[in-house]
Every structure is written in structure tokens, then in C-alpha cells.
Amino acid sequence: MAEHEQFTLKHGEHLLLVRSRPSPSPRLPDCPTAPLEKDATSLLTKVPTPPPPAQDQWLLRLPNELLRKNFRAAHFTIEKDTAALKTLLKDAATAAASGRGATQQDALRSLDAMLGRMRGVKRKLAAHADTEERLHAQSAARIVHLDQLYAVRGADDVRYEAWSRRRLDRLLADYLLRHGYNDTAEQLARERGIEALVDIDTFKSMSHIREALRGGSIAEALAWCTENKKELRKMESKLEFLLRFQQYIELIRTQSQPKLLEAIAHAKKHLIPYWHTYPTEVKQAGGLLAVPPGASHRAYAHLYAPARWAHLADVFTTAHYSLLGLPPAPLLHLALSSGLSALKTPACHSSAAAGGGGGKNKHPPSTIGHGVCPICSVELNDLARNVPYAHHTKSHVEHDLVLLPNNRVYGRQRLSEQAKKAGLPQALVKDIVTGEVYPGESLRRVFIT
Ligand SMILES: [Zn+2]
């Protein structure tokens, strides 16, 4: 029993470390063969209060990203409209000063136009201010939620159970939103009072665009690309090119003379400039002109395939997630797989356990919470089959570790590769995470003892 307690504790510790550094965890005893006296939950009571896991980072990061986006939009409005206003003002002043044909009426009209424009700016800015206020309130609610975890004294504290329940609700809502079940997610959030903790609006607008793409409409996704042009370019996203390519394919699909001419003009404007970046696709685009949709030409048939729409929707979803710093997989999957990894031991999938009907089953199939290893239970055994072990028999630490002046440790080879990629002179290295640059001689070798 004592052995198993230690095992759980070590797992708990590993869970906390799992995302911060890939340190080799201590050797864990194999899964106990006899049914345990306590279930896993009660063993977890020994675990000290865990800090919020890395998967909760996005909880604060997303409102922050949205705030930045909102600020940028407000800034753009001010820049654009004040520039226009200055021009209007200058024109009016010149006309009045020169006195050429400018009556009092004209001057009043142009002043009215300016006032109208400024009212428009005020309206737009008020909307941005509302969004900002809502996002700040959301961030505050999330900070309170994460802060509650620090008030919990241990996993046996009743408050911890309430907190984990809330987290599970959050993860479920995230899962539902990512799969397009927006109404269900909204209802769940409302019932549990966690509206401020889930990003319903963001996912709703995302699924609107995704569904439009699936339905064969590009306009929504293109508008989104224009809105986020700079960021997408920084990310080197292929999305806009693929959307333009699809527009081109749709023009050719019609096979009507004016549309084909339009397709050529479209290619010149939107595809040819990417000749060096996406040579294969641009070449295919050229060839496509000679291949009507009915022809069963293997090299071109896939361009006319309806499956391209689903692919475009996937490319959009990926771009959307990375733009907002959201993990590509549902958070529920992350939590589940790290939990399964932490509890999994080699004995859980030994031939006897996996055989099922083998007769002499060391871990009889059973339901969770009945005093057996959770991974050996019928519900989780299959799910855990392909997840990696938290326990590593081999060290994954790089062999050539060096210490940077900022006390961060990396492999020397990785640092020099990174420096080469960043185009630094040979004598310099760059911190992979923080981006700080140091001379090569400031590195100190690290020996693991
Ligand atoms: Zn087991």
C-alpha cells in the first residue's frame, strides 16, 4: 500500500512537471497486481495543491489576444478617419480662403460632412470600448477562477472538488464549441454560470466561417483573412492563397468564356505573385485551364473534388487556432491524455490484461472507482493503449547541455542551429524561448550529477 501511495505521489509530481521540463521521472513500481483498498481519487488526497496546469494558460491568453485585436481595430479607425478629416478640413479651408465659388452654404455642408464623420468615429469607438470592457470583465472573472485554486489547501479540500468540477465544465464546453455544438455549449455555460470562462463568441464566429466554407462559400473566410492580414503573413499561412486558388477553380468549373477570362485575370492578380512560394499549385492552376471538370485526368481531378471544401475548412480552423494561440486539439483531450499517461504502467497493457478473455487476467475488467487501477478498468484501458508512459526508461535530456547567463539550459547543438536560423554571427547564440542574444563564450557546460 505504501508503495502505491508513493507511486501516486510521484505521478502527481510528474503531472506538475510534465509541461515545464522534460526531466526523467524516477522509476515507478509496476501497477499493483492486487485490487487496491482505496480508489485513485482518495489516494490523490495526498497530493499538495497543484498550480494551474499549462493548459489553463489559454484561459488568460485568449482575452488578451482579443483585447490586442480590438485595440488595433480602434487604432485603425482613428488613423483612417482623422486622416480623412484632415483632408476635408484642408479642402474646406483652401476653398474658403481662395473664395473661388465657395459659398457659405458649401462651407456649412462640408462642416456637416466632417461632423457626420466624427459621429461615425465616436460610434465605432464606443463599440470598441464596450468590447474592451467585456473582455476586461472576462479576464477578471478568469483570474478569480484561477485564484480560487490557490485558496485550496489540498486535493481533499471540498473546494478543490468544486473547482475541478468547474474546470471539467469548461473543458466540456470547449470540446463542444470546437465540434460546432454551439447551442449545447452555450446552454451548459449558462446552466453552470461559467459564461465568462468560455469563449462562446469567438468559437461561434469561427464555426460560422467554417460552415460557410463547408457549404462552398469563400467570402466569409476571405473577409477574415483581410481582417487578420498582417498576422497571417507573419505566420506564413497558406490560407488566403488556397482560398484564391479555390475561387479560380470555381471560375474554371463554369467553363463559360467570360468566366474563363476572369479566371485568367484572377490568376494574374492572386496566384502568379506566389509563383516562388507555391510553385506546384501555381503550375497546376495553369494546367487546369486546359482540363474541364468532366475530364477524368488524374492529376487535376482532385482540384475539382468537393473534398477540397472540407480541407479548406480545416486549414482555416488551424489558422484560426494558431492566430489566437489556442491549442489545436480540444483541451479535454490534453487533460485526458496527460491523466492517462500519468497513471499508465507497463502492467496495464501486459498480454494478460490486453487479452481480455485470456482467463488468468491479472487486472479483472471493472468500472472506475471500485478500488482498482483506473487504467485497467474497461472504460479507460483502450483509451490509454496508445498514450506514452509518463515514466521514461531513457533520458530525453540533451547530451550537450549548456547554461546561458540568464540561467536557462539548452543543448549546444540546438542553440547553434537556432542561431544559424536566426542569421546571427557565429560567435553569438540566442535563447530559444526568451530571444535574448549572448556571446558564445558566456555559455557554461552543464553536467548532470
Ligand atoms: Zn493498471
User: Would you place residue 327 in the very low, low, confident or very high pLDDT band (cuts 50, 70, 90)?
Assistant: confident
- Pick from 387, 396, 404, 267: nearest CA to 329: 387
Which of 52-56, 279-283, 291-295, 394-398 is predicted with the least confidence, judged by mean pLDDT? 52-56
Q: How far is the CA of 363 from the centre of ligand 1 (A)?
A: 7
pLDDT at 234: 92
CA 147 vs CA 33, 59, 436: distances in Å: 39, 13, 31
Is pLDDT of 29 > 70? no
Residue of 8 and 426 predicted with greater confidence = 426
Best mean pLDDT range from 354-368, 384-398, 416-430: 416-430
Q: How far is the CA of 21 from the centre of ligand 1 (A)?
A: 26
Q: How far is the CA of 35 from the centre of ligand 1 (A)?
A: 10
Q: How far apart are alpha carbons 170 and 164 in whole angstroms?
A: 10
Residue of 65 and 359 predicted with greater confidence = 65
Best mean pLDDT range from 213-217, 338-342, 426-430: 213-217
Is pLDDT of 16 > 50? no
Q: How far is the CA of 31 from the centre of ligand 1 (A)?
A: 5
Q: How far is the CA of 30 from the centre of ligand 1 (A)?
A: 8
Q: How far is the CA of 28 from the centre of ligand 1 (A)?
A: 13
pLDDT at 295: 76
Cβ–Cβ contacts within 10 Å for residue 67, how many?
A: 16
Q: Average model confidence (pLDDT) for the chain?
A: 81
Cβ 406 vs Cβ 395: under 8 Å: no
For the chain, first and last CA: distance in Å? 31
All 3 cell numbers of residue 393? 526508461
Q: In this predicted model, what pLDDT tens digit does every residue of 137-171 receive, in sequence order?
A: 999 999 999 999 888 888 788 888 899 899 999 99
- 558564445: which residue's cell? 440
pLDDT at 371: 56
Q: How far is the CA of 159 from the centre of ligand 1 (A)?
A: 29
Q: What is the DSSP string of 94-146?
A: HHHHH-SS--HHHHHHHHHHHHHHHHHHHHHHHHHHHHHHHHHHHHHHHHHHH
Q: How far is the CA of 249 from the centre of ligand 1 (A)?
A: 54
Q: In this predicted model, what pLDDT tens digit does every residue of 224-237 receive, in sequence order?
A: 999 899 889 999 99
Cβ 301 vs Cβ 287: under 8 Å: no
Q: How far is the CA of 361 from the centre of ligand 1 (A)?
A: 11
- Pick from 362, 434, 368, 366: nearest CA to 405: 434
Q: How far is the CA of 14 from the centre of ligand 1 (A)?
A: 18
Is pLDDT of 431 > 50? yes
H or E segment at 312? helix 307-323
Q: How far is the CA of 235 from the centre of ligand 1 (A)?
A: 43
Q: How far is the CA of 83 from the centre of ligand 1 (A)?
A: 68
User: Would you place residue 50 in the very low, low, confident or very high pLDDT band (cuts 50, 70, 90)?
Assistant: low
Q: In this predicted model, what pLDDT tens digit does every residue of 109-132 receive, in sequence order?
A: 888 989 999 999 999 999 999 999
Is pLDDT of 17 > 50? no
Q: How far is the CA of 7 from the centre of ligand 1 (A)?
A: 12
User: Would you place residue 421 in the very low, low, confident or very high pLDDT band (cuts 50, 70, 90)?
Assistant: confident
Q: How far is the CA of 162 from the centre of ligand 1 (A)?
A: 28
Which of 96-100, 203-207, 348-352 is predicted with the least confidence, judged by mean pLDDT? 348-352
Mean pLDDT to the nearest integer, 357-369: 46
pTM of the predicted protein model: 0.67
Q: How far is the CA of 296 from the centre of ligand 1 (A)?
A: 54
Q: How far is the CA of 366 from the centre of ligand 1 (A)?
A: 11
Q: How far is the CA of 340 from the centre of ligand 1 (A)?
A: 11
Q: How far is the CA of 260 from the centre of ligand 1 (A)?
A: 64
User: Would you place residue 101 in the very low, low, confident or very high pLDDT band (cuts 50, 70, 90)?
Assistant: low
Q: How far is the CA of 316 from the centre of ligand 1 (A)?
A: 40
Is pLDDT of 94 > 80? yes
Q: How far is the CA of 223 from the centre of ligand 1 (A)?
A: 51
Which of 49-58, 138-147, 216-225, 427-436 is predicted with the least confidence, judged by mean pLDDT? 49-58
Is pLDDT of 210 > 90? yes
User: Would you place residue 136 in the very low, low, confident or very high pLDDT band (cuts 50, 70, 90)?
Assistant: very high
User: Would you place residue 209 in the very low, low, confident or very high pLDDT band (cuts 50, 70, 90)?
Assistant: very high
Residue of 394 and 340 predicted with greater confidence = 340
Q: How far is the CA of 327 from the centre of ligand 1 (A)?
A: 29
Q: How far is the CA of 349 from the centre of ligand 1 (A)?
A: 7
Q: How far is the CA of 46 from the centre of ligand 1 (A)?
A: 20
pLDDT at 102: 65
Q: How far is the CA of 376 from the centre of ligand 1 (A)?
A: 4
Mean pLDDT to the nearest integer, 276-291: 91
Q: How far is the CA of 397 from the centre of ligand 1 (A)?
A: 28
Q: How far is the CA of 15 from the centre of ligand 1 (A)?
A: 18
